Structure 1
Amino acid sequence: MREYFHQSEERKDDIEELLQRYEDLRNGNSTSYLEEESFERIINHFESKEAFKKALQATEMAIGQFPYSAGLLIKKADLVLNNREYDTALELLDKAAIFDGNNIDIYILKTESLLALDRQEDAVALLEEALNLFEGEEKVDLLFELADVYDDYEDFEKVFDCLKWILELEPANEEALYKICFWTDYTGRNAESIELHQKIINEHPYSELAWFNLGAAYQGIKLYEKAIDAYKYAIVIDEKFDYAYRNIGDAYIRLRKYRDAIENLERVLELAKPEDVIYEAIGYCYEKLKNYAQARFYFRKASHLNEDKGALLYKIALTYYKEDKFELCARQLEAALKIKNNNSEYLLLLGQSKLALGLDKEALQYFLNVVRLRPKQLAGWEALFIGLYKAEFFEQGLMQLNNAFLRMGADKPLFHYYKALFYFGLNQPKQALIEFEAGLVGAPRLLKRILEVEPELLQRSTVNALILKNKKK
């Protein structure tokens, strides 16, 4: 420890001595000579103190003494780049290339200058030329630069190509493994990613990132069982790989294996900082398992971490609706509407809750708001038709059907079924049967939906006759 402090003090004294010699030289008070390495140390010192103007002055003095130093010319180019003097930087780098054409920093700084001047094609051409000059780590560095250029100019397929090339050169390159996972998903090049990562795994079977990326690529083409197997290998290598558990949870949800999904998502909560999306996903699984109390528990946990509380209040309301707890459902929705007062989804469910509570007029007001906000959404119109039918507003129902036709710009088979209901309600059976048959011809599958609204239709012999007639067809 004492030796470390002693060396540190020596370095401090050394730089202070160099700075004094530099100041004497700059002020013309000395005929002493500074080596190129000494100038580099002085320049680096000024840069570390963010005294960039002084660093540039020192660089210019150094170049005066060492005009053929590529390193000093590159350093000056880097400093003038910070001042946005891009053309000056390019001139300096061209000069540096005469003395040391194999210095990778020349190409990297030239790329930065060209991009700043919006000369993307020149930057790409420069880097592609440089790729033929360098090997190993330097080639990899250039490929990362090229990938960034393509990213900036939204040529995303070529970003993937660069990362793939890097991994062919360095299969265990962690930065490339992290990045290619995102770009595989973005470009949809899952088949290539599967082939690439299988090769990497053959060489590096204990690369948890390669196994993870393989799983993500399988997941991208909906081969969820294979994805889960790959993620499990990643977890064997790194049992605290929370993203692997997260993706396993997602894959199990896709497979509708909700209990398995919950188990893995709960593991994510143990390993990582709690996130609203994880709580929400667990809530979704419990909802699918019809364990509505547990679903609400996790939706509420999610709401504490999510600014969009309205959406989670809606999910909680939906669980109450499924349990026929319409008053509790309505309370949640009323709270959600205070956050987003014109959300058609919230208004629709609130209207349905009010209708279930026998509050027909209130329900109709909500349904009317829904069709005003979303005139081309069929669900809102259908809810309005049901509300009007339940309230026995048959003439208004026919009027709203005409409005729906005008707003949606299409004659839906479902409209004919509801017209039939309203005409039956008005005691106009002949017209009702015409509309009912039009519905059967257009969409026989929708008959079940209409019978849920009015099961007594089947007590009419004429309706049964029409159903049988169309079944024979």
Structure 2
Amino acid sequence: MELRPNDNNNLSLTRFESMLKTNHVLFFDSEEFENIIHHYLNHGKIALAKKAIKLGLLQHPTSTNLKLFKVEIFVFENDLEKADMLINELYALEPLNEEIYIQKANILSKRDDHVRAIEVLEKALQLTEDPIDIYSLIGMEHLFLDQFEEAKANFMKCLESDIEDYSALHNMIYCFDFLDQHEEAITYLNMFLENNPYCEVAWHQLGKQYFDLKDYQKALTAFDFAIISDDRFIGAYLEKGKVLEKLKRFHEAIENYSITLTLDDPTSFALLHIGLCHQKLGNNDLAVQYFYKTVEEDPLLDKGWIAITKFYNRQKNYQKSLYYINKAINIDSENVHYWKLYAQINERLQHLEEAERGYKKALELGNHELNTWLTRGDILHQLGEPEAAVYNFIQASEFYPENAEIEFRLAGLYYLLSETEKGSYHLKNGLRFNAEFAFILEELFPSICKSQPVKSLLKAKL
């Protein structure tokens, strides 16, 4: 429940908190209590808000607004039965009070009854002289129902009444984005900016739309206007840096990311991208310095650890690379790309068991690239686990039927396991699918190639 600020609010708060400390009961009018409660709710001080409501109702037992705050607390604490009972009592007393409808809708929303919540809010619209907040609430209920067109229309109504309602602007753009309506969003934002040309938020959102459409020059112009409107707008500098990176203007990108470091505490995003730009420019020492600064700023940012991993990987310092990929995996153990990189690094270090583990994990997480199956199977063969290798390649053949690379490997493994009939079957398949891959037998199973049955089959086909 929104209230206008009271000039005496600080004094009222001081008196109220003094009363709590001394236990001397002081009198406050109902509006003072409302402002005190509103302050505590805005600052998340629920226990103090509840005390203020209790004391307020002792002094003003018939105050509807104080009882509405009590409803708000019930809803916050998910005590929806009590909230419903109290709101029904208030409705019987004041059926034309719009705030009662808003709180009733809030209760319905908490019960996931968003359709009825919208119906109740539409009744509140008929009673209010200031519909902006209600349009916003209706928009949010439509979002809960994935009704993005309806949500968008309501957020637009908020902006028609208040062009500085940036929350509505963000929510509306979210709807455009979800509906993949970038062109429509651009049209709307340009119209909006005709009436509000110094709205940095709108310029920022316009730039992001152009960025999504890969129209980088127009995106750059929009972010420049956002910065002209507010030269301390960190988000605009960050987005401008991203555009400049796309345009390979790395020096300028670094300059824009660096500005954000002077405006507020450094962000891991800016530090990481400064490092990436230096890497593109060949400034390896500076690049790795910024990668380290990134993880110092945010030790849980896996992308920072990955940047260091890849840096040392390019330097062929695989031991360090392995150390840092482990850091990334500890943060995000479900990232298939990290496990693939982990496997590749271990393979280069000849840590075959760990490499096989990495490829297996990558497969489990959905990386079904042919190369992943082939490499894992070859490593299992190297580790002396032909049965496991066979099982791996049979699984692979489900994803890649009639693949010669898989068939020749299965042929070699079955011959190795003395299952000659199966070996012969897969060898014939391999020769039929693509005989050019027959060299796989010689490379991976040289002893098998010397056997007379294999020689005969190869000779007959080649």
Question: What TM-score bracket applies, with the shorter chain setting the length?
Answer: 0.5 to 0.7
Compute the RMSD of aligned alpha carbons: 4.7
Aligned residues between the structures: 392
Shift of 1:117: 6.3
Tell me how far 1:73 sits from its aligned partner: 4.1
| Deviation string, structure 1 residues 195-247 (Cα, Å, up to 9, x no partner) | 22111111121211221121122233343332222111111121111101112
State the shift of 1:335 in Å. Answer: 6.4
Deviates more, 1:276-285 or 1:341-350: 341-350
The answer to whether residue 118 in structure 2 is matched with residue 129 in structure 1 is no
Quick check: 2:219–2:243 contact (8 Å CA) kept in 1?
yes
In the aligned structure 2, how far is the partner of 1:347 from the partner of 1:41? 60
CA distance in 1, matches of 2:409, 2:33: 87
CA shift, 1:184, in A, is: 3.9
Structure 2 residue 300 is matched with structure 1 residue 308: yes
The 1-side partners of 2:26 and 2:300 are apart by: 60
The reply to whether residue 321 of structure 1 matches residue 348 of structure 2 is no
Name the TM-score, length of structure 2 as normaliser: 0.67
Q: Normalising by the residue count of structure 1, what TM-score does the alignment of the two structures yield? A: 0.65
Matches within 5 A, 1:294-443: 294-308=286-300, 312-333=304-325, 348-349=340-341, 352-353=344-345, 355-356=347-348, 359=350, 362=351, 364-375=352-363, 377-378=368-369, 379-384=371-376, 402-410=390-398, 412=400, 416-417=404-405, 435=430, 438-439=433-434
Q: Which amino acid in structure 1 is aligned with residue 395 of structure 2?
A: R
Q: Determine the structure 2 residue equivalent to 1:273.
A: 265
Counterpart amino acid of residue 58 in structure 1: Q
Match of 1:86 among 77, 81, 84: 84
Residues 73-110 of structure 1: CA distance to partner in whole angstroms, max 9, x if unpaired?
4554444554534233233234323xxx4x54344344
Task: Check the 8 A contact 2:33/2:52 in 1, yes or no.
Answer: no
Gapped regions of structure 1 (runs ≥ 5): 24-37, 64-71, 442-446, 455-473
Distance change >3 Å, CA 167–CA 280, structure 1 → 2:
same
**What residue identity is the alignment partner of 1:202?**
E
Shift of 1:272: 2.8
Deviations 1:374-395 (A, max 9, x none): 4464343343466689x7x9xx
1:164 to 156, 161, 164: 156
User: Do the aligned partners of 2:114 and 2:144 also contact (CA within 8 Å) in 1?
Assistant: no
Cα separation, partners in 2 of 1:173 and 1:400, compared to 1, 3 Å = same
User: Following TM superposition, by how much is the alpha carbon of 1:302 offset from its aligned partner in structure 2, in angstroms?
Assistant: 1.5
User: Does the CA contact (< 8 Å) of 1:344 and 1:369 recur in 2?
Assistant: no
Q: Is the 8 A contact 2:356 2:376 kept in 1?
A: yes
Aligned pairs (5 A) from 1:170-249: 170-249=162-241
Whole-Å separation in 2 of the counterparts to 1:216 and 1:237: 16
Report the counterpart of residue 243 of structure 2 in structure 1.
251
Amino acid at match of 1:164: M
Match of 1:33 in 2: none
- The residue number in structure 1 matching 2:4 is none
Distance 1:134 1:324, change over 3 A: same
Structure label with greater radius of gyration: 1
Secondary structure of the residue that 1:410 maps to in structure 2? helix
* Deviation digits for residues 307-366 of structure 1 (CA, Å, limit 9, x no counterpart): 436654443232222233344434544666787899875565455445546x4xx3x223
